[in-house]
Amino acid sequence: MKAFKRLAFATVLIICLAQEGHPAVAQESTTQPPDIVTQTNTAESGGIKTEAVVTEPEFVAADIAWMLVCSALVLMMTAPGLALFYGGLVRKKNILSVMMQCIFLMGLMSIIWAVVGYSLAFGGTNPYFGNLDHLFLKGVSPTFVDGAVTTPAEGSIPATVFMCFQGMFFIITPALICGAFAERFKFSSMCVYMVLWGLLVYCPICHWVWSGKGWLCEANPDALFPALDFAGGTVVHISSGVSALVCVLFVGQRMGYGKDPMPPHNLTYTCIGTALLWVGWFGFNAGSSLSAGTGAVNAFVSTHLAAAGGVLAWAGAEWLFRGKPTVLGACSGAVAGLVCITPACGSATAMGGIVLGMIAGMVCFWACTALKKSFKYDDSLDAFGVHGVGGTVGAVLTGVFANSSITGGLEGGRVGLIEGGFTNFTQVINQLVSVSAAAGLAIVGTIILLVVLNVTIGLRVTPEEEQRGLDVAQHGEEGYIFL
């Protein structure tokens, strides 16, 4: 009894301290630019004291911690998440080629982003193009000049954290395209294509939507068509999905497609990869709030429920039309729901997320079965059917499901058709323009890049290499060695 009383007393004391603003209690974060604080650091070396003035904003520790975790979660989506998801869907002779694409792009695109990509995406004030203001992370990394250390800020977090988080998107977006031309694309051509695509297609679209100055940016009061894209419906999924379809049509079908069986070789990998993608997507979407505040909460919950709705819709459609629900269908439905909610998680309610996820599950199921069969294009791992179609559905429906209970504090209070009335098409029009612009640049840019690369270094492996498998032909390794 005495122990219980002591525990109760300690609990009451902690609550009282918290209400008085005890420093151990996290405060609600803000995304407004914090005040600048100047402090003097004194250090002693060899008996000589030196002083350095440190000029930096009052960063919010909770926001920094949250964004670092979210950055790690988004990186995990590429490998092992996407690597396992895609790797399980190809034939066993090509599993290492898929994993190599994912892991190599993690390294390659990170360097490109830090050197020039971030600057092209977020530099300058032009509404259509970035510039080289932040080349080699100039104005992003901390500086020491005339005895003063200055840490650039992005809201309540250091600019380097924001740059790192956005860089994870720059990694996974081109990696998504790899699923379309899997099992037949030269590794060297893939590397060159992804670098050029990232700089010439991804960075401009990112600048349009997220830079704060772009012509599609909702935060820009001078934007021509301010679109709601909280975490990347246009920037990530439409750009990659449409580009994937162009790659498929340009490169052509795999040898034996439609004649030889090409089932996934390891659905266990795909299921594990799906689970990792699902968890990582919380960083992808909720992290796009850039703070550990209420915006992150809604994005987190709506993301989870959309994925759940996608699972039920896709697996349910299989059950209804094919007699059996499959693991592959459930996994594909989860990803479809996640893709669809990505642009809407900062404007739709949690219950709206369920509806969006279920719509995506059904529409993407149709796109990956009936649509693909009708046009006979060989989208190996359904990059277009899930990301292109799912991203488009999500981006357009964001203009339908946007709710002021969510957007009032995050996106300027914009509302969709359901709340604003079916005579208020403004936001839907903005969403359609953003979809068309992203898809248009992706199509034109991809066609030009593929034509140039095909003429110069070639795109496709030889028939002998394709027959042998890309693991051995391109990398000199085998995924499975049984002794």
Q: Which residue segments constitute the domains of the chain, with CATH numbers given? A: 78-132+163-475 (1.10.3430.10)
- d(C-alpha 137, C-alpha 140), whole Å: 5
- d(C-alpha 480, C-alpha 316), whole Å: 34
394 CB-contact burial (10 Å; exposed 0-12 / middle 13-18 / buried 19+): buried
- d(C-alpha 457, C-alpha 229), whole Å: 36
- Among residues 147, 168, 165, 149, the alpha carbon closest in space to that of 157 is found at 165
pLDDT at 334 over 50: yes
pLDDT in tens, 158-176: 999 999 999 999 999 999 9
DSSP conformation letters of 179-198? TTSTTTB-HHHHHHHHHHHI
pLDDT band at 460 (very low <50, low <70, confident <90, very high): very high
pLDDT band at 147 (very low <50, low <70, confident <90, very high): confident
For residue 217, the 8-state DSSP code is: B
Looking at residues 101-114, what average pLDDT do you find?
A: 98
Looking at residues 311-338, what average pLDDT do you find?
A: 98
Task: Please name the residue ranges forming H helices in 178-326.
Answer: 187-197, 203-210, 239-251, 267-286, 294-322
Phi, psi of 50 (to 5 degrees): -125, 145
pLDDT band at 414 (very low <50, low <70, confident <90, very high): confident
Looking at residues 437-451, what average pLDDT do you find?
A: 98
Looking at residues 239-266, what average pLDDT do you find?
A: 96
Q: What is each CA distance from 165 to 115, 189, 293, in whole angstroms?
A: 15, 27, 17
Q: For residues 162 and 154, is the Cβ–Cβ distance under 8 A?
A: yes
- d(C-alpha 414, C-alpha 405), whole Å: 10
Which of 69-83, 275-289, 391-405, 409-423 is least confident? 409-423
Which of 84-98, 140-154, 209-223, 410-424 is least confident? 410-424
pLDDT at 409 over 70: no
Q: Which two tokens stand for residue 95?
A: 């599993």
**Residue 267 neighbours by CB distance under 10 Å:** 16
**Residue 156 neighbours by CB distance under 10 Å:** 25
pLDDT at 23 over 50: no
pLDDT band at 56 (very low <50, low <70, confident <90, very high): low
Query: Which position has the token pair 């720059």?
Result: 170
pLDDT band at 131 (very low <50, low <70, confident <90, very high): very high
Strand-by-strand arrangement of the 148-150 sheet: 36-45, 48-57, 148-150, 143-145
Q: What amino acid is encoded at 171 in this protein?
A: I
pLDDT in tens, 280-320: 999 999 999 999 999 999 999 999 999 999 999 999 999 99
Going by C-beta distance under 8 Å and a sequence separation of 6 or more, which residues neighbour residue 164? 68, 71
Indicate the SS3 state at residue 222. Answer: coil
Looking at residues 185-194, what average pLDDT do you find?
A: 98
pLDDT band at 476 (very low <50, low <70, confident <90, very high): very high
Report the relative pairing of strands 148-150 and 48-57 from DSSP bridges: parallel
pTM for the structure as a whole: 0.88
pLDDT for the residue 483: 65
pLDDT at 257 over 70: yes
Q: What crossing angle do the helices spanning 61-76 and 267-286 adopt, rounded to 10°?
A: 150
Query: Which position has the token pair 């689970």?
Result: 275
Looking at residues 20-36, what average pLDDT do you find?
A: 38
Looking at residues 413-436, what average pLDDT do you find?
A: 89
- Give the angle subtended at the CA of 190 by the CAs of 433 and 468, to the nearest 5°: 130
Q: What amino acid is encoded at 37 in this protein?
A: V
pLDDT for the residue 41: 47
